[in-house]
Amino acid sequence: MIAKISSGKDTAGLIRYLFDTKKAKEHTDPHLVASWDGFAPDPGRSDDFAATKKLLVADLDLRVKQARRLGRAPERHVWHCSLRAATTDRHLSDEEWADIARRVVATTGIAPQDDPDGCRWVAVRHAPDHIHIAATKVRGDLRTARHWNDYLTADRELATIEKEYGLFQVPRGDRTAAKRPTRAEQEKARRQGQNKPARERLRTIVRTAVAATTSTEEFIRLLSHTDGVLVEVVYFPSGDVRGYKVASEDNTTAGKEPIWYSGSELAPDLSFPKIRARLEATGPQPTSQPGRRRPNPWHQATAAAERIPQHLTGNDDRASQAHLAAFGEALDALPLLAPAPIRAQLREAASAFERATRSRVRAEHHHARALRGAVRAMLREPSPKDGAGLAMFLDAAILVGIAAARWHQLRHHDQQVAATQQALLHLQAAYADTAAAPLAVLAQRRPPEEAVDRHIRHLRQAVPDHAEQIIEDPAFDALTATLAEAEATGHNSERLLHQAADQRALHDARRPALVLTWHIQRLSARPAPSARSLAAQARSAARAENAAQRPSTPAHEAAAVPVAQPPQVRRR
């Protein structure tokens, strides 16, 4: 159940709207379900509507007029609260809505329980799924009602009501969500033929710019060169950058000033100081060393993403929050790198996960330097044409989404859990579309049966508990082709299978052959170990095995070993 609370100056205008059945089509049967004393006149059940409505307004405004004569009436004396049930909820009776209304005005301070001087109020029901509470803020003792934080107190009471009445439990926020567009902004976007209001479009543009840059100077420069965006930089007297404001050219009316939004008005984490802190925590981009191949940024980003679920199981919440924020930046960057058919899905995934990147936990961004650096490197290199790099990253991203939902759920971050689950749906759809083509190409390169049989033997040795499931997986042909190609570059397929299984547990994988395929592709991209390196690894493993088999000193022998006594100190 959702509450919307506002203030106004016109009691008669609000009552006129609540009982109107001509202009407002959803007002089918307006009538009172409760009031301050249970005896308020009800225009919806009166033969003389106009006279009864006038009488109701006079009763509600009685104390306001008395306080006004004393100069004590608030300017915005009307308190308006609408309460709407979810579309999946049952229709509540008038008596149930009346009980809910009484509880809301009591908890918000409008009419505290057992307070004879509480404000005057009425609850109007004009549709099956919601009611409106109209009240005047002057109490019986002519003081103004103390209703500070009324939205939060009402929301807490509604959470209790949902459980008691068996209604849909709305995901509650922690006041870290981005500001929603107003109704006027939404209507303006519709008039202009835009899918989203200017505030939401600018938020996406700014987040993408943050994901694509490595410094505040580059961030400002990229924003300034973005089509359709106006940028204004705010400076301190010293000349240092204090902040920035953005506006949409589409949101500018001829002859009028643009509608500007500061970064913090777009989202709490888009203020200039917070953007600067994130960019300063960006790790160095992968670079090639003399005589060695340049690291593949897609592989590095995927490896960094695969480590996030492990980080989320630790005890450092600030580090976990940093990894979620960095993962959100990676999702913001993906539409710039993806083929056109799946960009919409990736934009929706990034837009949904944006809510999961913030909570009351303060992020320590330096913990996620590796992923940020790899994402920036991805943006500066041509995207792989076969789509394997993107599919590989999306496979890891789905695991991150599952782990992120669990992390937020354990901390009762309801809105973040819902946002992550929504993002997962888009990530899974994008992955299915992306992985199909590279897997089909790999499957066409299935090796001869003799090689396939050998790979099956290696599978049964490396992952005996999952071997049959892997063999039956439709991606098995792609896996055998990947193993064959790895062998052609000097790798040992059995060793690769063991390494891949050690890096990623398969007990929760729906498609274990896919998991192994992507991991082995990354492992085989590294240079094959030399004979000297393999010999050193064998000697190290043998020493470790011998140390493990060496018998320890028995307890009775240890007791017989003389222990050096500390020198005695003569007391004076």
- 268-316, pLDDT tens digit by residue? 999 999 999 999 988 676 565 555 567 889 999 999 999 999 999 999 9
pLDDT of residue 387: 85
Task: Report CA-CA distances (Å) from 178 to 65, 219, 263, 356, 450.
Answer: 39, 20, 11, 11, 58
pLDDT tens by residue, 250-270 = 766 656 788 999 999 999 999
Residue 277 host element (H or E): helix 272-280
Q: Report the percent of the chain where pLDDT is more than 90.
A: 70
Residue 231 host element (H or E): strand 229-235
pLDDT band of residue 558 (cuts 50, 70, 90) is very low
State yes or no: pLDDT of 385 exceeds 90.
Answer: no
State yes or no: pLDDT of 570 exceeds 60.
Answer: no
pLDDT band of residue 27 (cuts 50, 70, 90) is confident
pLDDT of residue 544: 58
Q: Which residues pair with 124 in a beta bridge?
A: 32, 132
Pick from 15-24, 215-224, 493-502 the range whose average pLDDT is largest.
215-224
DSSP 122: E
The stretch 352-356 carries a mean pLDDT of 96
pLDDT of residue 541: 53
pLDDT band of residue 181 (cuts 50, 70, 90) is confident
pLDDT tens by residue, 428-475 = 999 999 999 999 999 999 999 999 999 999 999 998 999 999 999 999
- 3-class secondary-structure state, position 72: coil
State yes or no: pLDDT of 210 exceeds 90.
Answer: yes
Q: Which two tokens stand for residue 345?
A: 């899905």
Task: Report CA-CA distances (Å) from 359 to 265, 313, 483.
Answer: 17, 17, 43
CA–CA distance, 20 with 43 (Å, rounded to integer): 10
**Residue type at 339 in one-letter notation:** P
Distance of CA 516 to the CA centre of its chain: 28
Q: What is the mean pLDDT of the chain?
A: 88
Which residues, 6+ apart, have CB-to-CB distance to 293 below 8 Å? Answer: 527
Q: Which two tokens stand for residue 179?
A: 């500001």
State yes or no: pLDDT of 240 exceeds 70.
Answer: yes
Distance of CA 476 to the CA centre of its chain: 34
Crossing angle, helix 476-488 and helix 512-524, to 10 degrees?
20
Q: Which two tokens stand for residue 469?
A: 């499931």
pLDDT band of residue 567 (cuts 50, 70, 90) is very low
Q: Which two tokens stand for residue 90?
A: 């049952």
473-478 contacts, C-beta under 8 A, 24 or more apart: 473/511, 473/512, 473/513, 473/514, 474/513, 475/439, 475/443, 475/511, 475/513, 475/514, 475/517, 476/513, 477/442, 477/443, 477/446, 478/439, 478/442, 478/443, 478/513, 478/514, 478/517
pLDDT of residue 546: 65
Nearest C-alpha neighbor of 333 from the set 373, 362, 286: 373
DSSP 130: E
pLDDT band of residue 59 (cuts 50, 70, 90) is very high
Q: Which of 26-30, 40-44, 429-433 has the lowest mean pLDDT?
A: 26-30
**Residue type at 416 in one-letter notation:** Q
- 3-class secondary-structure state, position 404: helix
**Residue type at 505 in one-letter notation:** A
State yes or no: pLDDT of 559 exceeds 50.
Answer: no
Nearest C-alpha neighbor of 120 from the set 65, 165, 159: 65
DSSP 289: -
Q: CA torsion angle for 292, 298, 299, 302 (degrees, to 10)?
A: 150
State yes or no: pLDDT of 568 exceeds 50.
Answer: no
Residues 556, 557, 561: CA angle, nearest 5 degrees: 120
Q: CA torsion angle for 411, 412, 414, 418 (degrees, to 10)?
A: 50
Position of tokens 């519709």?
190
pLDDT of residue 215: 93
- 3-class secondary-structure state, position 241: strand
Predicted structure pTM score: 0.79
Residue 558 burial (10 A CB sphere; 0-12, 13-18, 19+)? exposed
State yes or no: pLDDT of 418 exceeds 80.
Answer: yes
Task: Give the start-end residues of each E strand in 26-148.
Answer: 31-35, 78-84, 121-127, 130-136
- 3-class secondary-structure state, position 234: strand
